[in-house]
Amino acid sequence: MKNKVYINGMGAVTAQGNWRDSFWAESQEIRYPITKAVQPSYKDLIPPSMVRRMSRGIKMGIYAAQQALDDAGIALPDAIITGTGLGCSEDSEKFLRNILDNEEQFLTPTSFIQSTHNTVAAQIALRLQCKGYNFTYVNRSVSFESALLDGLVQLQHGEADQLLVGGVDEVSDHTYMLLQRIGHIKPDGITETVRESQSIGVNYAEGASFFALSGTKTERSYAELADVLLRNVVEQEELGAFVQSFLEHNGLQISDVDTLVLGINGDQEYDSYYRSVMEFCPDANVLYYKHLVGQFDSCSAFALIVAAYVATMQTVDPILHWEAPSAKRPIRNILLYNHYKGRDHSLLLVRTC
């Protein structure tokens, strides 16, 4: 029999700052094409001499990972699994720029060493002296979900008991320019929130979210992570069957879903997918989150923070409501759905514990 998996700790660095008790009250909606994360103080975690050589992605990952471990009361996880869409793109761009500027001579290796996608997981492991399983998934907008699925399988089958799983992506200037040029990011000069959006493209950002997952329930446990499903291609008219099959696999009906957490991002070309899921689950309370943390490849990790927090507190801050609920319902089964530009669809099921 498969073991249950519990979310025992959470940490994040976002466009609203780091994860904290006052996060919702102090948050403001993003309304610009590009927003960088609000960086916390790293001086208590990373020596100043090292901080200067680290990109924002590495620093954000270390901070969010330690925050999740502290929240769960864990000193050393059995394994570290991360997901990232673009990896340490800031260092990648820096190294390539140095090649051009210095005509391929007198290059320092730091940026090259830290430019690989698995640098964040490696730096976390070095800092913690964690010699266990260490893996990074690079699967575009389902990178975090791929890491989460790996962790879920390991815990359910008893391969490990304490895992650190997270997603991290950073903004780099050249990559941002290219994404904006091909229409993935809204043009400069447009200042729309997700709810106000009348245009294609998204408000882009960066961040890191990490979780301490365990097969052991504790007094710190937020919620149960029940299942994860990924599918590259789902046509819009097939979404109902996609969701229903996932729920039936977990012994649920549509009416059992009391809360939806959707990745609505203001891209008018593709947000209709989310409206289809809303119509399929008409009685569910609908929440969204990308108006606070922006769109980036691993931003769906923050959706799990939203779900875990809501499951624990049994209340929803008004800033998370896409639609005001018609009636208050106990929160038991939370369904998370995300996609990007009609591809890489993911479903997560979170239950109260």
Q: How far apart are CA 85 and CA 83, in angstroms?
A: 7
User: For 127-178, what is each residue's pLDDT tens digit?
Assistant: 999 999 999 999 999 999 999 999 999 999 999 999 999 999 998 888 889 9
At 1, the pLDDT band (50, 70, 90 cuts) reads very low
**pLDDT in the model for residue 13:** 98
How open is the CA angle 253-4-217, to the nearest 5 degrees?
120
3-state secondary structure of 1: coil
What does the CA dihedral 236, 30, 189, 141 come to, rounded to 10 degrees?
-40
Q: How far apart are CA 61 and CA 128, in angstroms?
A: 13
pLDDT at 240 over 90: yes
Half-sphere exposure of 194 (CA within 13 A, CB side): 25
**pLDDT in the model for residue 111:** 67
Task: State both tokens at 285.
Answer: 């309370």
pLDDT at 203 over 90: yes
3-state secondary structure of 309: helix
Domain ranges of the chain: 6-214, 226-351
pLDDT more than 90, % of the chain = 82
At 27, the pLDDT band (50, 70, 90 cuts) reads very high
Name the amino acid, one letter, at 18.
N
CATH topology for 6-214 is Peroxisomal Thiolase; Chain A, domain 1 (3.40.47)
**pLDDT in the model for residue 115:** 73
pLDDT more than 70, % of the chain = 99
User: For 293-336, what is each residue's pLDDT tens digit?
Assistant: 999 999 999 999 999 999 999 999 999 999 877 777 899 999 99
At 248, the pLDDT band (50, 70, 90 cuts) reads very high
Q: What average pLDDT is seen over the chain?
A: 93
Asked whether the beta carbons of 135 and 141 are under 8 A apart, the reply is no
One fold for 6-214 and 226-351: yes
Q: How far apart are CA 176 and CA 181, in angstroms?
A: 9
Q: Which residues of the chain form beta strands (DSSP E)?
A: 6-14, 17-18, 79-83, 133-137, 162-169, 207-214, 223-233, 259-262, 285-288, 333-340, 343-351
Q: How far apart are CA 58 and CA 56, in angstroms?
A: 6
**pLDDT in the model for residue 172:** 87
pLDDT at 28 over 60: yes
Q: Which residue has the higher pLDDT, 100 or 344?
A: 344
Domain 226-351: CATH superfamily, name plus number: Thiolase/Chalcone synthase (3.40.47.10)
Q: Which residue has the higher pLDDT, 93 or 65?
A: 65
Whole-structure pTM value: 0.94
At 105, the pLDDT band (50, 70, 90 cuts) reads confident
Asked whether the beta carbons of 347 and 246 are under 8 A apart, the reply is yes
User: For 269-302, what is each residue's pLDDT tens digit?
Assistant: 999 999 999 999 999 999 999 999 999 999 999 9
Mean pLDDT of 29-34: 96
